[in-house]
Every structure is written in C-alpha cells, then in structure tokens.
A and B are shown apart, each in its own frame.
Chain A
C-alpha cells in the first residue's frame, strides 16, 4: 500500500487565502518531500524536510513534520491562481533504491 496519503483529496479556495494540505505516512522515513504537478505535466520539487527537522520555509511555503504522528503539512500562504495544481508528498526511506513513495495527491484549485 502507499506510504503517503494526502488530505484533503481536493481543495478549492479564493485567491489570497491560505491552503493547507496534510500528508500521513506509515513507517520511519529519512526525509519527506513535497512536489507540485500542473495538469498532467512533470512534477516539480518544492521542498524537502529531513526527519530531524520540524519546520521549514521556502517563500510562501511552510512545511511541518511530526515524526511522532507520522504526518506532515504543507501550507501555501497568500495563494495565487498560478498555484492551481496537484500537490504530492513523497517519503524517502533513504538507502540505495532512490525510491520515493508518493501519495495520491491533493488537487488545489485557486479561484480568482
């Protein structure tokens, strides 16, 4: 079964509002990453948070990680219509496999 599960599956907000997406996973991880995908296109890396970090910021993005609850959240502040996309969390166990386990994603729609 998949390691990461995002919540909610879909989210619609107005431009300027904040968007929060959550990700839960099942086993210990090396790091957790968030990616964005615009409608059927390639995934773009947004941010990586390591297992020993609790919070990380990048521009309008804020990611938190709670390893005790095996969960992470992605907050996008002051959303823009260009933020409309699917957002995926991906967990990395480390090691040699170079494998990321992706969740099924949150579809974010930012309305003008």
Chain B
C-alpha cells in the first residue's frame, strides 16, 4: 500500500531534550516536506527536500533540522525543543511537486 508513515504518532517531552520524528514513504517520491499545524494558523512548511542530499528552509525553519540521506526517509530533528514547538506535525511527499501525500501526523507536546 502506497503510504507515508511517521513515528512516533504522539510524543511528550521536556524542554531541551533532543528528539527525532521519522518520516518514510514507499512511493519513490522525490519531493518531501515537513509542515506544522497550529490552531488558527493552518499548515506551515518547515523544511522541504527535492531529492537526496538536497534540502532547504520553508517558512518556519527555526529550531528544526532535517536530513535526506535516502530517498524514502526524511527525518525531522528538534535539537533543543521548546514549548512553542508544541504542535501537530505532518510529513508529505510528492512525485511532481504538485499533489502531496500526507502522513498521519505526529502530535508533540513540549513541557
């Protein structure tokens, strides 16, 4: 089944404790993105990647890192999480850069 998977789905952590949210797609898509969704603000792009080893900042990259060592994986790294990073995070992938396929989301709470 074609899908985008994210892990973990739910995470509670404390300020400053490094964490990684994994994202994997099995559709051989070149494009991958991370978004965060906050009430009243919709979805905002954090980082994107056009292919292996090619990544760039989106609209809200501060406090996040990404890497794209393999085509299928695009992990999101929070080196030192802060409470303002409490959010619902979505990974997405696409073949042509148009229609995007979203993962199920990761709900993060930073205390």
Contact = CB atoms under 8 A, between A and B. Distances in A.
Contact of A102 (B43, B97, B107): B43
Interface string A87-112: 01010101011111011110000000
B88 A2 contact: no
A99 to B, nearest CB: 5
A48 interface: yes
Contact of A99 (B4, B40, B48): B48
A82 interface: no
A97 B32 CA distance: 10
Contacts, number: 67
Given A33-B99, A98-B50, A41 B104 contact: yes
**Contact residues on B (Cβ < 8 Å of other chain), bracket:** 20 to 34
Main secondary structure of the interface of B (DSSP, over half): strand
A92 B45 contact: no
Contacts of A102: 35, 42-44
A99 B99 contact: no
Given A42-B104, A45-B99, 4 more contacts: A35-B102, A41-B105, A43-B100, A97-B56
A-B pairs, top 8 by smallest CB distance, nearest first, are A42-B102, A102-B43, A102-B42, A98-B31, A43-B102, A104-B42, A42-B104, A98-B97
Interface of B: 4, 31-33, 35, 40-45, 48, 50, 56, 58-59, 88, 90, 92, 94, 97-105, 107
